[in-house]
Amino acid sequence: MEVKTSLLDNMIGVGDMVLLEPLNEDSFIENLRNRFDHNEIYTYIGSVVISMNPYRSLPIYTPDKVEEYRNRNFYELSPHIYALADEAYRSLRDQDKDQCILITGESGAGKTEASKLVMSYVAAVCGKGQEVNKVKEQLLQSNPVLEAFGNAKTVRNDNSSRFGKYMDIEFDFKGDPLGGVISNYLLEKSRVVKQPRGERNFHIFYQLLSGASEDTLKKLKLDRDFSKYNYLSLDSATVNGLDDAANFRTVRNAMQIVGFMEDEVQSVLELVAAVLKLGNIEFKPESRCNGFDESRVKDKNDLKEMCELLGTEQTVLERAFSYRTVEAKMEKVSTTLNVAQAYYARDALAKNLYSRLFSWLVTRINESIKAQTKARHKVMGVLDIYGFEIFEDNSFEQFIINYCNEKLQQIFIELTLREEQEEYIREGIEWTNIEYFNNAIICDLIENNQNGILAMLDEECLRPGTVTDDTFLDKLNTVCAEHQHFESRLSKNSKFLTDHSLPHSCFRIQHYAGKVLYRVEGFVDKNNDLLYRDLSQAMYKANHSLIKQLFPEGNPAKVNLKRPLTAGFQFKASVGTLMRNLQTKNPNYIRCIKPNDKKAAHIFTESLVCHQVRYLGLMENVRVRRAGYAFRQAYEPCLERYKMLCKQTWPHWRGPAREGVEVLMADRQVPTEEFAYGRSKIFIRNPRTLFFLEERRRRCLQDLATLIQKIYRGWKCRTHFLLLKQSQVVVAAWYRRYAQQKKYQNIKSATIMVQSFARGWKARKILRELKYQKRCKEAVTTIAAYWHGTQARVELRRLKQEARNKRAVTVIWAYWQGTKARRELKRLKEEARRKHAVAVIWAYWLGLKVRREYRKFFRANAGRKIYDFIIQRIMQKYFLGLKSSMPSMSPVDKNWPARSYLFLDGAHTALRRIFHLWRCKKYRSQFTEEKKAVYEEKLEASEIFKDKKALYPSSVSQPFKGDYLEISKNPKYQKLNSTVDEKVLLADVVNKINRANGKGAARIFLLTKNSFVLADQKTGQVKASVPLPDLTSISVSTQKDGFFALKLKEGSASAAKGDFLLSSEHLIEIITKLHRTGAMAADGDQLNIDISDEFLVQFKQDKVCVKFVQGSPKNGNGVSCKRKNNRLLEVSVP
């Protein structure tokens, strides 16, 4: 994107209308059109910014744009609203001047958006920090709240401000925002009860019905259907581009950021809902005996709901709609209201209620955003007020609005001329008076205390007797008939014979913006703004937190019989205060223009724009600026911009900037009457002179551009040549280095090769010599070895021969000795055989004798001996087998080796019993006291429930834990644990069965040594504490359910509410512990356990039968309990 360094650079049309040539209305409009077509929506008239509404989003408000215009001179960049905001902010921060930004224009011209842009820019460029950011956010978020309650859709604007807003933003000495104060002017409260065709009521009504949750609408007694409310127009209920639901969420969030409490937001919404309900109240006539009609409410439902919202009595408000009390001194007169008067009272209450609510919102926002410190503050005021309005039917509101615009136009002209005059005097330039249209005569026509229109309207409202709008018009015709800016059918300025556009009940005022026709119908009533005292007192009696603040005059203790101030008087005083405030500040102006009535982009309606240019007085503003000198600029930027036009000032001027400008203007031969030298600025009278300098500057810039291009190209070529030359030197150096390195490598490799060959030849020569010496040594050694071998073999043969000779003698001797030994052995063997035969025969003989003797003895005792031996052997085998097949050491292991013989049955059984007792003793010796107690409980549970309760087998394998809730460790039950003084033996969650419906409620069951406690599971609050002696018996069923009944002793304090019917997943453990603990608490008396499928339970005064039946599970549920009648609860067990 092209960056503009000056207002005059790359200009589309003329950025400052002061420089427009020729200056006339056609060229003015054409310049606006040209810039609008190129998306240039901002144009200057000196320091005044003209803003055209583009009716679309443009990419000119980005953070980059903010930084671009930050701390830049006003004329340094192209026209923009940021330039004016920056100029105002820097003047406030650096020069300590209070500023005000006046934003004017007709409805739909973009005034509200312009004020938002100014505030957002100031918020972006001022300081940072947590507190500063909070203040900025609150200031910015006040806009959505006020827009929701004060803006509405009109035929000209979808977000039209129906009130005037002036915000003073307060800054500290560093320029950081401290807070702000908002003033509101003339809310168009008549819109609450009636809207013109094609327009809507205030946004908040539609946002509330579209965006509030169903729960909120139910509390406010509202329905989303717009057609159900008489105060809401239906033809424009929805607007394209407006998301009422999202906007409602934005408003709620903005109210939270600004500082509204949740109850305050709810109170505000209740009042908005009350206004809607108020519009639905309708009346019917009812004749009285005295002949007068009296109004009565038709349908009292809306009245009732409205009274519930406001917290007031229905009869009091209904009477206020039917009667009116008039007080005069010490007398009170009560009169009835007819239907028309009742509708008037209803609408007056709705308008006052909404108007006062809006004023309260402004006051509440001021409390949140006001500066906390009391030190002196710098102030920047932003005025966003309704523009000049000319409708087909103009009434009191348009008259007041146009009066305010007349005053703003008056102060605009005065401040503009004063600023111009002060600058001339400050710069030492001669000031010449400028003729212009002074609209003070129009302001005097309206606000004169004696003969002004507002004064006469107040006089008519206060005059006794019959007062109507026609009597007011007659008075205007009498007093203002000769005024040149006033016309009516009877005034001297009227040409009623030919001007048929002026009806009888109207008057016309020639405003600075043009003629406006006002219809006097409703002037007196709207100026009176009368609310009956009965309604004020009825509102004051309400219990609503906000209503008493809105209607303080309803306090019976502070009755004021004085007539309240009129709306016109109040507005006149407010405008006077505003004007005095603006005159104390340095003004900055933004003039907003609407390009077309269709609210569409890219459409420029020349007649509409021309009309706005006229009534905004823009042409007059240009003439005022051009009456003296059209253009002025400080010497430094002027010399910096045009110094290239003179050789003496180019490229650098060493002296003061003013002298440089004087040399420059003399060199250019500019006529002296076309400019003047001030103290810090040069003033140029005619725009043609400025355009002449710009044209010469443009040509010089072209020549300078050519020169710069030539120098640049020469520098570029020279730099390229030097780079090539340097590159060639570097390349050559690197090549020479490479060549020398290559040569060196070749020489080195050749030298290494020669050295290797020489070393190889020398090494081979030495090797040959060494090999020769080695072979000589080996030959000598071989010869010596052969010689020694020969000598050794000769000696060996000699020794072998000697050994063979000696061995032959030995062998012969050995054979001889062997022969002798074999002969002796044979003799000895023969002799031994003869002796052995004798011994054998003798042994056989002795054996025969023994057998003969033993046979007699064996026949008498052999059977018994054999039997004893066999039995002993069987017993030994039995015990050894039993040893190798012994069962495990577990007492529940019932395995035992089988016996092999029947006669061992007694011993086998005795041994099995002895082993089991010994095994049990070993197992018991391993038990701790706690484990022993658990097994004792298990044993007791077996005695109670075994073969009696179907649930018992599944509980055998489950250990008794006792404290399932870890009540001493869990911080959730710390309070409950502190209330129980004794040690908790059991803590579990049970369900207490309700007799009424059979459903269970979760309770905490605690068991101690002396009592049991039932407490609420969520809060830990003790519901019942029963001493164990008061517990007489426990009833359970025989099935797999967890239900049990704790029956209490009749007449005891614990039995006041009856017995307890409970259910638990740990039924076996709970009843076992109750049985053991109850026996100890009752000094040995056993607690009765009744196991039956049908038992009685005492509930207070009635006895209920609990019956257990078999049933199929439904929907995956298990046990279910249902009430069959008042005396029967049926438990279905699957």
Q: Which residues are catalytic?
A: 107-108, 112, 157, 160-161, 387, 389
**Pairing status of strand 151-152 against strand 160-161:** antiparallel
CA gap 628, 421 in Å, rounded? 10
Which residue in 985, 994, 941 sits closest to 967, CA to CA? 985
- 204 contacts 269 by C-beta, under 8 angstroms: no
Name the β-bridge partners of 1024: 1014
b/e 1037-1050 (16+ beta carbons within 10 angstroms → b): bbbbbbbbbbbbee
Q: How far is CA 675 from CA 623, 668, 702, in A?
A: 18, 13, 26
Q: Name the nearest CA neighbour of 1005 among 916, 910, 1069, 1049.
A: 1069
Per the CB < 8 A criterion, the answer to whether 134 and 257 are in contact is no
Tell me which DSSP letter residue 76 carries.
T
Both tokens of residue 665?
Answer: 């203007």
What is the Cα–Cα distance from 11 to 695, expressed in whole angstroms? 13
Q: Cα separation of 323 and 276, whole Å?
A: 23
State the alpha helices, DSSP H only, in 469-566. 469-479, 523-528, 533-540, 547-550
Distance CA 75, CA 44 (A): 9
DSSP 190: G
CA gap 568, 1070 in Å, rounded? 86
Distance, CA of 1021 to CA of 979 (rounded, Å): 10
- Looking only at the bridges linking them, the beta strands covering 160-161 and 331-336 are unpaired
Give first-to-last CA distance, the chain, whole Å: 82
219: CB partners within 8 A, 6+ apart:
none
Q: Using omega within 30 degrees of 0 as the cis cutoff, is the peptide bond preceding 564 cis?
A: no
Are 697 and 689 spatial neighbours (Cβ–Cβ below 8 Å)?
no
CB-CB contact of 360 with 549 (8 Å) = yes
Q: Phi and psi of 1093, rounded to 5°?
A: -85, 5
Place of tokens 């966003």: 384
Cβ distance 354 to 314 under 8 Å? no
Name the residue type at position 339. V
Give CA separation, 1018 vs 588, 824, 1090, in Å. Answer: 66, 122, 32
Written as one string, the DSSP assignment of 691-758 is HHHHHHHHHHHHHHHHHHHHHHHHHHHHHHHHHHHHHHHHHHHHHHHHHHHHHHHHHHHHHHHHHHHH
What CA–CA distance (Å, rounded) separates 910 from 500?
Answer: 141
Element housing 571 (H / E): helix 567-583
Identity of residue 696: R
Q: Which tokens sit at 1015?
A: 């407490």
Sequence-distant contacts of 1015-1023: CB under 8 A, at least 24 apart? 1015/976, 1017/989, 1020/972, 1020/973, 1020/975, 1020/976, 1022/976, 1022/979
The CA distance from 584 to 43, in Å, is 27
